[in-house]
Amino acid sequence: MLLGANGSGKSTLLKIIAGLLEPTAGEIRVKGTVGFVFQNPDHQLVMPTVGADIAFSLGGQGLGHQALQERVGAALQAVDLAGYQRRPIYALSGGQKQRVAIAGELARQTEILLLDEPTALLDRDYQLDLVQLVRRLVDERGITALWVTHRLPELDYADGALLLERGKIIDQGKPDRLRQQLEELV
């Protein structure tokens, strides 16, 4: 997880890794396909239905209809939304929309999943559900998830954490140690 105060560079770093921004100095090398999940899923979901949105994320991959449907179904199954293909996006809760955004990246067979404060707009119950889902995807699929958060309880699900300040990594290590350090500052 990436931690730090507002303006410390967390979201900027994610966007550079994803190729959405160019670094002002140095370079970033990424091994594997990268997917990005925005803080607000309404900035990411563009089609009228769940299935159409996930299929849209697969555009340009040259998949036949059957293969496309299989990828969409498998991605929805992975985020616990099997059978939601025909649901309108507008009828989903915020937590369900975040799951659809994640499913779109899984359908692309993303190896690295970048999440920019994905729980920020969710109710407390959905926050924990989403964190647990991402942890399960990491464990079951072997993907890497890099997550920006301000919520210290989310550290319980991280393998490691980086603390940023003014665009620089000032500490890294085990989540428990960094949590203790941040709690002492507050």
- Residue 162 placed within a domain: yes
Q: What is the DSSP string of 82-146?
A: TT-TTSBGGGS-HHHHHHHHHHHHHHTT-SEEEEESTTTTS-HHHHHHHHHHHHHHHHHH--EEE
Which range marks the domain in which residue 151 is found?
2-46+94-185
- Residue 89 placed within a domain: no
CA atoms within 13 A on the CB side of 87: 17
Q: What is the pLDDT of residue 52?
A: 95
C-alpha 149: how far from chain center: 11
Domain of 29: which CATH number? 3.40.50.300
- CB-CB contact of 4 with 169 (8 Å): no
- Residue 118 phi, psi (nearest 5): -70, -15
Token pair of 183 as six digits: 């709690």
Q: What is the pTM of this model?
A: 0.91
- Residue 66 placed within a domain: no
Contacts 24+ apart (CB under 8 A), 56-65: 56/104, 57/104, 57/105, 57/107, 57/108, 58/107, 58/108, 61/108
Per residue in 5-46, pLDDT (tens digit) is 889 899 999 999 999 999 988 888 999 999 999 999 999 999
**Number of Cβ within a 10 Å radius of residue 26:** 6
- Residue 141 placed within a domain: yes
C-alpha 24: how far from chain center: 24
- Residue 54 placed within a domain: no
Residue 106: band (very low, low, confident or very high) from pLDDT cuts 50, 70, 90 = very high
- Residue 73 placed within a domain: no
Per residue in 44-68, pLDDT (tens digit) is 999 999 999 999 999 878 899 999 9
Mean pLDDT of 124-148: 92
DSSP-derived 3-state class of residue 149: coil
Number of structural domains the chain divides into = 1
- Residue 31 placed within a domain: yes
